[in-house]
Structure 1
């Protein structure tokens, strides 16, 4: 997975982002001001930078300008929500712009989308005797191709990209089916049952009481 630098001066937000990105398999390094960010960038080759704008010592715009030639993808995380701020951030070279407060699931999705665009996303996922080709949209059990439907695969991908995180049925519908889906949450239960059976994932796709499901992947 990716090596991600988190540049955020609010410690609770920084810690939360770090913890959640590590849960899904990324390696993260946290710093709390712009100067520390530049020092860390000299020591490591990062796949992605999550960058606040309002930072001590050196603001996010200045950090972005300094790292622009390194071709490291950058997502701004900021409370500056005006259109002019968004335009400025993107014009300066940020790849994406997320306004606080945001849901961690949204951040996960934006991170994965950007890593895919830059060819740094995970291409294969392996869990026990299951192997998933994320680009090829194929799933294998004991090295044998399993016949799963496109919608089942979409749900599987959502679980993989948010592994170790409990997702409500409503959130799974939103992420795997889309906002315009008119069915109810029982659809999620049906598809989860099929995935468990087809891929032998009963011990890994956990039911979260009164909420939804979690793909549990232990290190």
Structure 2
């Protein structure tokens, strides 16, 4: 599982980010102080750091200088929206610079871009009889290519990357369509059912009553 370190001194923001990333299948650790982040980085190496600039103890620019030799990608999340701050952050080596406030769906998309750049996300997935090539977006089952719509493929990839994890309908909708889910909508269920039938996952992609769906990997 991808490990993301969130360094943000505003706890409500940090907790919201962590909750959203966990729903998307990431493992998160939150720290609220720059020195605490540096202490943690002496003993463990996350796959990605989401880093505020204005922090107690040590600021984001100082942390980035420390992190550069470790080859850990950094995305700045900050209220400092001046052009010179953005340029300074990118020149120091940050992979991206996102100004608060931001939409979670945009943050998730940018995280995926950076993780792919660093080859943290696998480009080939074998799961439950399927061979998925994420570069070409092709899906094979027993050497037969399966044709999926874009939404069906995105749903498939969400489960393939997170076997055993329960996904709420709201989370599936947010990740695949973006925007807010309405309880009356049957969009998620219809797309999941069509995708499940096409790839032969009628038995292993199970419905969780009143919640959503889970991919059960059979041994």
TM-score, length basis structure 2: 0.74
Match of 1:17 in 2: 17
Partner of 1:147: 146
Change (3 A) 1:95 1:127: same
Aligned equivalents of 1:95, 1:102: Cα separation in 2 = 17
Deviations 1:23-45 (A, max 9, x none): 33322221111111111111112
Report the counterpart of residue 180 of structure 1 in structure 2.
Answer: none
RMSD: 3.5
TM-score normalised by the chain length of structure 1:
0.74
Alignment match, 2:103: 103
C-alpha spacing 1:8/1:23, structure 2 compared with 1 (3 Å): same
CA contact 1:159–1:215 (8 Å) conserved in 2: no
Deviation at 1:186, TM superposition (A): 10
| 1:60 CA displacement | 0.6
- Cα deviation for residue 79 of structure 1 reads 1.3
- In structure 1, the partner of 2:61 is 61
Q: Following superposition of structure 1 onto structure 2, how do residues 32-181 of structure 1 map, counting pairs within 5 Å?
A: 32-125=32-125, 128-141=128-141, 143=142, 145-149=144-148, 151=150, 154-156=153-155, 159-160=158-159, 164=167, 166-167=170-171, 172-173=176-177
Q: Count residues with an aligned counterpart.
A: 206
Gaps of 5+ in 2: 180-184
**Residue 217 (structure 1) shift:** 4.8
Greater mean deviation of Cα atoms: 20-29 or 196-205: 196-205
Provide the residue aligned with 1:178 in structure 2.
none
Q: Is the 8 A contact 1:159 1:214 kept in 2?
A: no
**1:158 shift after superposition:** 6.7
- Kindly indicate whether the alpha-carbon contact (under 8 Å) linking 1:173 and 1:188 is maintained by their aligned counterparts in 2: no
Rate the CA distance shift 1:119–1:168 in 2: closer, same or farther, 3 A: closer
